[in-house]
A = this chain, B = another copy of it.
Amino acid sequence: MPGTPALIAIDWGTTSFRAALLDGTGAILDRRTAAAGILQVEDRAFAAVVRSELGSWLERWPGLPLYASGMIGSRQGWVEVPYVPCPAGLAEVAAAVVRHAADGLALSFVPGLSRTDAAGVPDVMRGEEVQVLGVADAARDGLVVLPGTHSKWVRVARGRIVAFHTFMTGELYAALKGHTILGRLMRGEAEDAAAFARGVRRGAEEPALGHALFSARTLPLMGLLPETGVASYLSGLLIGAEIAGGLGLAGTVPAEVPVVGDARLQRLYHAAGQVLNVGFVAAPGDEAFRGCLALARQRGDVR
């Protein structure tokens, strides 16, 4: 029945804790967020965080299933849940969920996914897999992009995750901005749409990223890019390189590519897609919670 709580889902990452109370339709009845990422929790006192943040829900609806995804299921988290190899869909991921009871709390931890490419090199994700499973049906075939510190490009076929690739885009941007000559050239961080678009084009067209990056120095040096636009240009360049690389590795360009992430990143990818003729569309949000609901239903914890 809509409105009746059916699940508590927690999206618990390195730097943030987000939780939702869902009914059986996926509607979100209440939510909590806290600066209690796994790196901020001392002495692994994870149970105490759950009690203090979600105590009122636990009291009012005892026995509700709790699902947690993200880095909380890593070696540095509460319970280490082994990676599930790709291809994997709802069935394989649900089968690998680890239920852990302690201190009067029982939680179900979602596994991450792993993959090995033709060269024998592994890739991993943890937290994104549940978001992809929570994306609406539109993405049951095609690509889903989850931009961020370590962007993920995920290929989905018949609702199963068949492959994915990580790009260190966000972390590269921060390191380049904070600790190279490119950052020292930046004047301000105002968004400059024209500079961003130029960066996107450059990043997509020049295959050698280590060379392409230097244009963020030479263009302002030669007076061809305002110093106030360097930050946007560099951001565009890295995103453009990611898009070209992601499409190349995926080997496909679907008509629509859902982007899971915050509104600012969704806007940037949409703008980059207009430059490169890729149809990035914003995913509606709360995919992690809806993915947990799908897993809980698959496991019979929610009917």
Is A300 part of the contact surface with B, judged by Cβ < 8 Å? no
- Check: A172 CB closer than 8 A to any chain B CB: yes
The answer to the question of A122 belonging to the interface, with a C-beta cut-off of 8 Å to chain B, is yes
Q: In the complex, what residues of B have CB within 8 A of residue A27's CB?
A: none
Q: Distance (Å) between the CB of A197 and the closest chain B CB?
A: 14
- Supposing A210-B241, A245-B208 touch, asked if A179 and B181 sit within 8 A by C-beta, the answer is no
**Distance A215 CA – B224 CA, assembled complex (angstroms):** 35
Q: In the bound complex, do residue A211 and residue B175 qualify as a contact, i.e. CB atoms below 8 Å apart?
A: no
Give a binary string over A30-66; 1 marks a CB under 8 Å from any B CB, 0 the rest. Answer: 0000000000000000000000000000000000000
Contact A167-B208, Cβ < 8 Å, known A150-B214, A179-B174, A179-B179? yes
Beyond A150-B214, A211-B165, A214-B167, whether A122 also contacts B172 by CB under 8 A is no
A266 within 8 A of B: no
Does B207 contact A245, Cβ atoms closer than 8 Å? Answer: yes
Within the complex, which residue of B123, B179, B209, B249 is in contact with A209, where a contact is CB–CB below 8 Å? B209
Asked whether A205 and B119 contact (CB < 8 A) given A174-B179, A214-B167, the answer is yes
Given contacts A179-B178, A209-B209, A209-B241, contact A218 B121 (CB under 8 A): yes
Choice from B169, B178, B210 contacting A167 with Cβ under 8 Å: B210
Chain B residue at minimal CB-CB distance from A218: B122
B119–A214 contact, CB under 8 A?
A: no
What's the minimum C-beta distance from A42 to chain B, rounded to whole angstroms? 19
CA distance A131 to B122 in the complex (A): 42
Tell me the smallest distance from the CB of A227 to a CB of chain B, in Å: 14
Contact B242 A210, beta carbon cutoff 8 Å: yes
**Is A29 an interface residue, CB under 8 A from the partner?**
no
* A221 close to chain B: CB less than 8 A: yes
Q: Considering only CB atoms, which chain B residue lies closest to A181 in the complex?
A: B171
A18 contacts the other chain (CB 8 A)? no
8 Å CB contacts to B: which residues of A238-279?
Answer: 238, 241-242, 244-246, 248-249
Nearest chain-B residue to A169 (Cβ)?
Answer: B210
Which residues of chain A (169-201) have a CB below 8 Å from chain B? 169, 171-172, 174-176, 178-181
Tell me if A130 counts as interface (CB < 8 A to partner B): no
Q: Which of A214-244 contact B (CB under 8 A)?
A: 214-215, 218-219, 221-222, 224, 238, 241-242, 244
- Residues in chain B near residue A169, CB distance under 8 A: 210
Partner-B contacts on A (CB < 8 A): 114, 119-124, 150, 165-169, 171-172, 174-176, 178-181, 202, 205-211, 213-215, 218-219, 221-222, 224, 238, 241-242, 244-246, 248-249
Q: A121-B206, A208-B241, A210-B241 are in contact. List 4 more A-B contacts (CB 8 A).
A: A119-B202, A122-B224, A171-B181, A211-B249
